[in-house]
Amino acid sequence: MSLERVVRSYYAVPMCRNIRSLHNYEPPASEAEIREAALQYVRKISGSTKPSQANAQAFERAVEDVALASARLLDGLVTSAPPKNRELEAAKRRERAAQRFAA
């Protein structure tokens, strides 16, 4: 399989539902939101919500590294779209969840 095809298929896969977009919101994502997203990511890829004492330092270092990389990414992104409204986007997520889990 060509690299171009791998990259194309990689980006076609939907994101994990628990990891939310932080780009282009008003007000911008806070350091706490970025850290929470980094923690979710590290938990997901490590398969552990709470690391053992032996892995705690590596886990925390990974969270900090991912948070720094995420903050750099968000700072570097540009868009011509108007900023999204947090409350409106949250309401949309709740509506989608209600439809998805309706009995």
Q: Under 8 Å CB-to-CB from 15, ≥6 apart: which residues?
A: none
| Angstrom distance (rounded) from CA 97 to CA 77 | 29
Question: Is residue 25 within a helix (H) or strand (E), and if so which, with residue range?
Answer: strand 25-26
Of residues 81, 68, 62, the one with CA closest to residue 23? 81
Is 9 domain-assigned? no
Domain that holds residue 70: 19-100
Contact 37, 70 (CB under 8 A): yes
Q: What is the pLDDT along the chain (103 residues), one digit of tens a residue?
A: 566 665 555 455 554 566 788 999 988 999 999 999 999 999 999 999 889 999 999 999 999 999 999 999 999 999 999 999 989 988 998 999 899 888 6
Question: What pTM value is reported for the model?
Answer: 0.74
Is 45 domain-assigned? yes
Number of domains in the chain: 1
